[in-house]
Amino acid sequence: MRVKICGITKPDQGRSIAQFGATALGFICVPSSPRYVTPEQIREVVSALPDGTDSSIDRVGVFANAAVEEICRVVVAGGLNAVQLHGHESPQMCQQIRAALPTVELIKALRIRDADALQQTTVYETAVDALLLDAYHPNLLGGTGHTIDWSTLQSFRPCCPWLLAGGLTPDNIQIALQLVRPDGIDLSSGVEVAPGDKDLRQVERLFEQLRNCRDRFGHDRFVSPKQPIS
């Protein structure tokens, strides 16, 4: 299972989170966000990663309604290998970004208000490499702390890999993973002291809970093929 911790701003925290076992670090590239980081700050975090992990851990830039040219610039300047689109990007724009960055993973985030909203996922499945389902909020694009109604996702099986996001914490992760079967999880506010300031004890607790899930529900479901939870 992929484990992405998003909203990284501090090099020492990025290093610790990688050591705990995260398979991806997320960097918010939306200037209006309190978790925003510049490409230079992203480079500082990446350069502080433990030896060997900078190439094995995914570095995901999170964008919202940005121009293709701007996304390409930040990807190169920040040393990113994945792009997450968290705005109102169309499938056509996703295809434009994929053409411009053919070696970069493309993730489309969708905010899910109810079961009917899941229908929108079908138009993106062939345009991106993975989906991310986040909780709906009328004014905020992410990091709200709100959860999706997990019962609506019990039979969700898209044609591409998907990550569960939205209000996940060390306290509720086991409950969520009993109900749904995502290919990965994404946490931000659920392991924070304040926006962009991660609570490393909470991150450590998260991986403790994931180990418990692995022991309860099966090894292959909860161990990432990239970086085992040990």
**Catalytic (active-site) positions:** 6, 134
- Residue 88, both tokens: 């109102």
Residues with Cβ within 8 Å of 76's Cβ and at least 6 positions away in sequence, in order, are none
d(CA 217, CA 20) in angstroms, rounded, equals 21
* Residues 59 and 27 sit within 8 Å (Cβ to Cβ): yes
The full DSSP string for 55-113 is HHSEEEEEESS--HHHHHHHHHHHT-SEEEE-S---HHHHHHHHHHSTTSEEEEEEEE-
Strand partners, 192: 198
Amino acid at 136: Y
